[in-house]
């Protein structure tokens, strides 16, 4: 059932976050979450399972103009970057297609829906949907040394709160999943150093 729905939607998945693109069909769809969708769950779901996507890695390479920064001082948030042999761990939510109207709005700053195989821990795989912000979007910031990314995150804030809270919330959500991500945990350590340096008396 979910697979049929994915097929119905897949013609639209290559479109850039097209409004209403989720309206096809009435069956449920698996959504893969790897960033804020792991810890800020402001949408209804039917089922939630630990899952991974293959040949992708999570990177703080996307700029955030609307949640964790501003157009003048964009924050840094995660996207997925192709990396053969890598596995990105996260969560799959089974959602009603109507949920995508809300999510498209939430993820509008550069993310597009992409169809991708989601792998569950028991080796079962299903086709699902993932929001990815690739290098063609205007808010994309790209790679930088991790110490620089952590300093950037430490100083940014936006309508959804401090950029640091996004990183700390993500790291905590990954720990709760027993998921490992060297990039996220290195940035978490660097951010904590930045924050304690900022608190230290001059």
Q: Which residue is nearest to ligand SIN (CB)?
A: 35
Interaction between residue 33 and ligand SIN (CB under 6 A) = yes
Q: What's the min distance (Å) between Cβ of 202 and ligand SIN?
A: 35
Is the CB of 79 or the CB of 190 nearer to ligand SIN? Answer: 79
Asked if 63 interacts with ligand SIN (CB under 6 A), we say no
Does the annotation mark 127 as catalytic?
A: no
Applying CB under 6 A, does 174 fall inside the site for ligand SIN?
no
Q: Which of 137, 129, 33 is nearest to 90 (CA)?
A: 33
Which residue number, 22 or 37, has a Cβ lying nearer to ligand SIN?
Answer: 37
Q: Which of the residues 89, 107, 188, 194 is marked catalytic? A: 107
Which residue in the set 36, 57, 112, 160 belongs to the binding site for ligand SIN (CB under 6 A)? 36
DSSP of the chain: -HHHHHHHHHHHHTSSS-TTGGGS-SS-EEEEE-SHHHH---S--SEEEEEEEEEEEEEEEEEESSSSS-SSS-EEEEEEEEEEEEEEEEEEEEE-TTHHHHHHHHTTTT-EEEEEEEEETTS-EEEEEEEE--TTSTTB-----HHHHHHHHHH-EETTEEHHHHHHHHHHHHHHTT---HHHHHHHHHHHHHHHHHHS--
Question: Measured between alpha carbons, how far is 20 from 172 in angstroms, rounded to an integer?
Answer: 33
Residue of the chain from 37, 53, 114, 184 that contacts ligand SIN (CB under 6 A)? 37
Cα–Cα dist 93/2, whole Å: 12
Taking residues 69 to 88 in sequence order and writing x for each that binds ligand SIN by CB under 6 A, - otherwise, the string is: --------xx----------
Looking at beta carbons only, is 116 or 194 nearer to ligand SIN? 116
Q: What is the footprint of ligand SIN within residues 107-166 (CB under 6 A)?
A: 107, 131
Site membership for ligand SIN, residue 93 (CB under 6 A): no
Catalytic residues: 107
Binding site for ligand SIN (CB under 6 A): 33-37, 77-78, 107, 131
């Amino acid at each position: 059932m979910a697979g049929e729905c994915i097929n119905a939607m897949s013609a639209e998945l290559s479109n850039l976050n097209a409004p209403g693109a989720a309206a096809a069909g009435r069956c449920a769809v698996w959504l893969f979450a790897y960033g804020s969708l792991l810890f800020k769950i402001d949408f209804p779901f039917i089922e939630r399972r630990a899952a991974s996507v293959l040949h992708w890695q999570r990177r703080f390479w996307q700029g955030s103009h609307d949640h964790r920064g501003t157009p003048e001082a964009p924050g840094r948030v995660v996207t997925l970057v192709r990396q053969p042999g890598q596995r990105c761990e996260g969560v799959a939510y089974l959602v009603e297609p109507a949920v995508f109207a809300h999510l498209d709005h939430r993820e509008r700053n550069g993310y597009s829906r992409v169809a991708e195989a989601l792998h569950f821990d028991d080796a079962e795989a299903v086709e699902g949907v993932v929001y990815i912000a690739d290098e063609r979007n205007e808010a994309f910031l790209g790679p930088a040394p991790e110490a620089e990314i952590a300093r950037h995150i430490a100083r940014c804030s936006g309508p959804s709160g401090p950029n640091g809270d996004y990183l700390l919330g993500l790291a905590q959500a990954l720990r709760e999943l027993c998921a490992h991500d060297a990039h996220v945990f290195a940035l978490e350590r660097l951010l904590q150093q930045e924050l304690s340096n900022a608190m230290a008396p001059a």
